[in-house]
Amino acid sequence: MVHNIAALGGDGIGPEVVREGLKVLAAVAETAGFEYQVEEYPYGTDHYLETGVILPDGMMDTFRKDFEAILLARSATPAWRWG
């Protein structure tokens, strides 16, 4: 069985955190003997500011249906203004 993982690096240091997390995942998979594949997504504050869309319609359903896990990093920057 191949485990499907969505990776959302988000913003700020998020992409670096996800990149390091994927290195750990690779080491664990090799040691424990399981397979996985990762699909990366651009969603985060920068994406929202560029497109006006936080997540496309139906994306949460896709995550639930197609992935066993989501590796989610920071997804806010000083550019984000709450309220």
pLDDT value at position 17?
93
Indicate the pTM of the whole model. Answer: 0.85
Would the pLDDT of 82 be above 90?
A: no
pLDDT value at position 32?
97
Please state, in angstroms and rounded to a whole number, the distance separating the CA atoms of residues 45 and 25. Answer: 25
Determine phi and psi for 76, rounding to 5 degrees. Answer: -160, 145
15-56 pLDDT, tens per residue?
999 999 999 999 999 999 999 999 999 998 888 889 989 899
Please state, in angstroms and rounded to a whole number, the distance separating the CA atoms of residues 30 and 13. Answer: 26
pLDDT value at position 29?
98
Question: 35: left (phi > 0), else alpha (psi -120 to 50), else beta?
Answer: beta
Give the E-state strand segments of 1-83 in sequence order: 2-8, 35-41, 69-72
